[in-house]
């Protein structure tokens, strides 16, 4: 009986492909229960934005960041509506006999409309804000990646900080400030640019808005003084 040849080496299998741009992406874009992925992504952005945006994919579609931002904004809107309802109930006067259900119906209808409209308006503002940031990044020679990258940063930063509205009294203010901070850090990490260029891209529009608001207030005050002097 002839001897069989020794078995050869196992067939070569190629290694798995690396993630896009060497970035794993936030937990939201991985497998697992959606609530767990949302909480982990928001936690990373709120507590360690450098690491969160350093691992964020620069491309991969807008659906994932859009959905994340919509959920975060909706959570914040629900929390705001609940606090408003509680506050209205505390300060409301006695109900008028025969008309007590009308204010409640109107308030409930307005709350539902607010919960529907708020995420839509917020997403539109995110697109507009991301467009302005990206335009200024191009102006400051800091747009190293496409617009999608900038929008992804804005969406994940806004969606994560929107849930801070659930914190009574100071949550909205803290969320607004940290949204700016997270966006600045995210743009610097995603576009791989100096932090100063990201700061300029985010704060220049805010400074321009503040300037025009102050100018309008001064103009209105001067107009009132002029009218008072003519009287």
- Chain segment 19-61, per-residue pLDDT in tens: 445 688 899 999 999 999 999 999 999 999 999 999 999 998 9
| Phi/psi of residue 130, nearest 5 degrees | -65, -35
pLDDT band at 168 (very low <50, low <70, confident <90, very high): confident
> Does the pLDDT at position 209 exceed 70?
yes
- Rounded to two decimals, the pTM is 0.79
Mean pLDDT of the chain: 84
H helices then E strands: how many in the chain? 7, 0
Q: What percent of the chain has pLDDT over 90?
A: 58
Of 186, 145, 164, nearest to 52 (Cα)?
186
For residue 102, name the pLDDT band (cuts at 50, 70, 90): very low
Q: Tokens standing for 209? A: 């808005």
For 192, the token pair is 């791989």
* 188-134-209 Cα angle (round to 5): 100
Q: Which of 93-107, 109-123, 153-167 is the least confident region?
A: 93-107
Angle at which helix 171-191 crosses helix 195-230, to 10 degrees, equals 140
Question: What whole-number distance in Å separates Cα of residue 138 and Cα of residue 69?
Answer: 25
pLDDT given for residue 18 in this prediction = 45
What is d(CA 46, CA 181) in angstroms, rounded to the nearest whole number?
10
Question: What DSSP designation does 67 have?
Answer: H
What is the arithmetic mean of pLDDT over 49-78? Answer: 93
């Amino acid at each position: 009986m002839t001897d069989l040849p020794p078995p050869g080496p196992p067939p070569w299998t190629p290694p798995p492909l690396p993630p896009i741009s060497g970035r794993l992406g936030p937990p939201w874009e991985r497998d697992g229960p959606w609530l767990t992925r949302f909480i982990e992504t928001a936690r990373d952005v709120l507590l360690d934005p450098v690491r969160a945006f350093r691992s964020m994919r620069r491309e991969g579609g807008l659906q994932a960041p859009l959905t994340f931002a919509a959920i975060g904004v909706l959570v914040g809107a629900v929390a705001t509506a609940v606090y408003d309802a509680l506050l209205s109930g505390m300060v409301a006067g006695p109900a008028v006999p025969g008309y007590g259900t009308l204010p409640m119906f109107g308030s409930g209808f307005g709350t539902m409309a607010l919960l529907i409209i708020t995420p839509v308006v917020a997403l539109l503002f995110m697109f507009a804000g991301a467009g302005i940031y990206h335009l200024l990044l191009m102006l400051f020679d800091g747009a190293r990646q496409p617009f999608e990258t900038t929008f992804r940063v804005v969406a994940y930063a806004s969606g994560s900080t929107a849930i801070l509205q659930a914190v009574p009294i100071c949550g909205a203010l803290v969320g607004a400030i940290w949204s700016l901070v997270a966006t600045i850090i995210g743009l610097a990490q995603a576009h791989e640019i100096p932090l100063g260029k990201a700061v300029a891209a985010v704060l220049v529009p805010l400074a321009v808005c503040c300037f025009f608001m102050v100018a309008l207030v001064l103009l209105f005050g001067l107009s009132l003084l002029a009218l008072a002097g003519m009287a």
